[in-house]
Amino acid sequence: DTAVSQTPKYLVTQMGNDKSIKCEQNLGHDTMYWYKQDSKKFLKIMFSYNNKELIINETVPNRFSPKSPDKAHLNLHINSLELGDSAVYFCASSQAQSVSIQYFGAGTRLSVL
């Protein structure tokens, strides 16, 4: 059973479109995260959610919006996609309120044409 699962694994789309990436964890964790890995493999935190509340929001364009229907899910919605949004997006989860081990999904490779 996959602990942190993301769908889709690959996403190819045109500039200007709106797309969503889904993430689900079955670990019973309270905190979930989205990271972006750029073409040089640099990983940077985008968002984290703790008990459905946004905890941090780094300097991410407001075209990106995390949506959490419950604590097991944290979806990433992206409006008006741009070429620079092409990257691999990773979802992760951990136990709440303290830094602990983060478990990562397999990633979603987004290509904007």
| Residue ranges in contact with another protein by CB under 8 A | 4, 31, 33, 35, 40-45, 48, 50, 55-56, 90, 92, 94, 96-99, 101-107
Nearest-approach distance from CB 105 to another protein, in angstroms: 6
Pairing of strands 31-37, 87-94: antiparallel
Residue 30 has a CB neighbour count (10 Å cut-off) of: 16
d(CA 13, CA 4): 24
Nearest-approach distance from CB 101 to another protein, in angstroms: 6
Closer to another protein by CB, 13 or 107: give it: 107
Nearest-approach distance from CB 16 to another protein, in angstroms: 28
Nearest-approach distance from CB 73 to another protein, in angstroms: 17
Closer to another protein by CB, 78 or 92: give it: 92
3-state secondary structure string, 66-109? EEEEECCEEEEEECCCCHHHCEEEEEEEECCCCCCCCEECCCEE
